[in-house]
Structures are given as structure tokens and as C-alpha cells.
Amino acid sequence: MRTILFFSLTLLILSNCTEKKTLKILNRGEEVNGKMVYEKIRDFSFTNQDSIEVTNKTFGGKIYVSNNFFTTCPSICPTTSLHMGRIYDRFLNDDRVGMISHSIDVRTDSVPVLKTYANGLEIEAPKWNLVTGNEEEILAIAYDYFSNALKDETAPGGFDHDDLFVLIDKNRHIRSIAHGTDPKDVNRFMKDMEFLLKSEYSETK
């Protein structure tokens, strides 16, 4: 009797846990005519390591991961690149997932420089896009991704930016955030990605 009670209790707790998992939209929302309307990632157009234009349409119907970096960044970038690389390896063959890394040092990081960096990282577009573009637009869009990217001559490498990885759903909304220098946080982030894939594609799969 006792064991049955114990098992049913455990089951109850477990089922509760699995049902509870949701990924809320993290953007600021407002109720308009009884419906929630959330802020979303603005329109953008950048150029990747293969000189190919990358826009919102590139990620149409996909979920994608975004972060900021620059190739000569001496502080956190190699570590974030390592962990972005783990995400790349894990979702390499899943076409529902895209990746974009914005170089915030557009003067140094031309397309050929990005290409060399991509080769060094042993990664390829269109899965993982290392992009450059209009400096103002690149620094401005960081705001949409809840990230900081600022010119700062006192910072190592001349730019101040954070280590955030941001997960965007099919509707340009932010669903998960991780610190890209923290391996455990990135593990959790990848689980969130799996979860989002399941919930976003549940109608088709």
C-alpha cells in the first residue's frame, strides 16, 4: 500500500514537472484589443562570410540563435565561439535551426576576415552565419536581442559587449537566453532549443 502511494506520488510530481515546462515570450508585451502583442526583432539585412545577404527571411520558418563577437576580441569571444560551436555540432543536420553571429567590429571584420575565421572554427554557412554590415545597424540590433554592444576604447579590443546567446522563435520573439561563457548555462539553453523545436513544430511533426 505504502509503495503504491509512493509511486503514484512520484508519478504525479513527475507528470506535473513535464507539463509545467514552457518557454515564455521574453519580449515586452502589451494587450491590444484583448490580444497580447509583443515587441520583436526588427528587419535586418547583413552580409555573411560567403558574401551572401542574410535577412529575417534567411531564418523564415526556423528558430535561430544569435550572439555578438569580433574576430580580434581577446576576452570572452573564443569561449563563446567554443560553445556556439557545440550548438553548431548538435544541430548541424537539423534544418529547422539557424545561427547568426554579428561582428561588432565591422571595420576590421570584412567578409574575407570572417571567412578565415569561419574556416578556423571549421564551420559553414548557411547553418552558422558570421555577419558584417552597417555599423549602426549592427550595434542597434543588439538592443533587440537584449544584448549590449558598444564602442568603448577602454574595453579589451575596443568594444564592450556581453556573452549572451539568444534564442529566437519563428515569430521573431525571444524565448531563451544564456551566458555563452558558462558551459552549464549553454547546456540548459540547448535543452530549451530542443523544447522549442518540439513545441513549435508539433503541428507538422
Partner 1 sequence: MRRYLFFFGLILFTIFTWTDCSNSYSDGKYLYEIHCQSCHMPDGIGLKGLIPPLAGSDYLKKNYDKLPCVILLGIEGEIVVNGKTYNQPMAGIPELETMDIALLINYINHQWGNDGKYTDFREVEANLQKCE
Q: Does 153 bind partner 1 (CB under 8 A)?
A: no
| Closest separation in Å from C-beta 120 to partner 1 | 4
| Closest separation in Å from C-beta 78 to partner 1 | 4
Q: Which of 27, 56, 75, 199 binds partner 1 (CB under 8 A)?
A: 75
Q: Does 45 bind partner 1 (CB under 8 A)?
A: no
Residue 165-204 contact track with partner 1, rule CB under 8 A, x = bound: ----------------x-----------------------
User: By C-beta, is 58 or 67 nearer to partner 1?
Assistant: 67
Q: Does 122 bind partner 1 (CB under 8 A)?
A: yes
| Closest separation in Å from C-beta 105 to partner 1 | 14
CA dihedral sign of residues 16, 22, 28, 33: negative
Q: Does 108 bind partner 1 (CB under 8 A)?
A: no
Q: Which of 51, 57, 61, 120 binds partner 1 (CB under 8 A)?
A: 120
List the one residue out of 68, 79, 47 whose CA is nearest residue 151: 68
CA dihedral sign of residues 120, 124, 129, 133: positive
C-alpha cell at 178: 544564456
User: By C-beta, is 147 or 181 nearer to partner 1?
Assistant: 181
H/E run at residue 64:
strand 63-69
The DSSP result for 92-159, as a single string, is TT-TTEEEEEEES-TTT--HHHHHHHHHHHT--TTTEEEEB--HHHHHHHHHHTT--EEE-TTSGGGE
Q: Which of 25, 52, 76, 177 binds partner 1 (CB under 8 A)?
A: 76
| Distances from the Cα of 154 to the Cα of 101, 131, 158, angstroms | 23, 25, 6
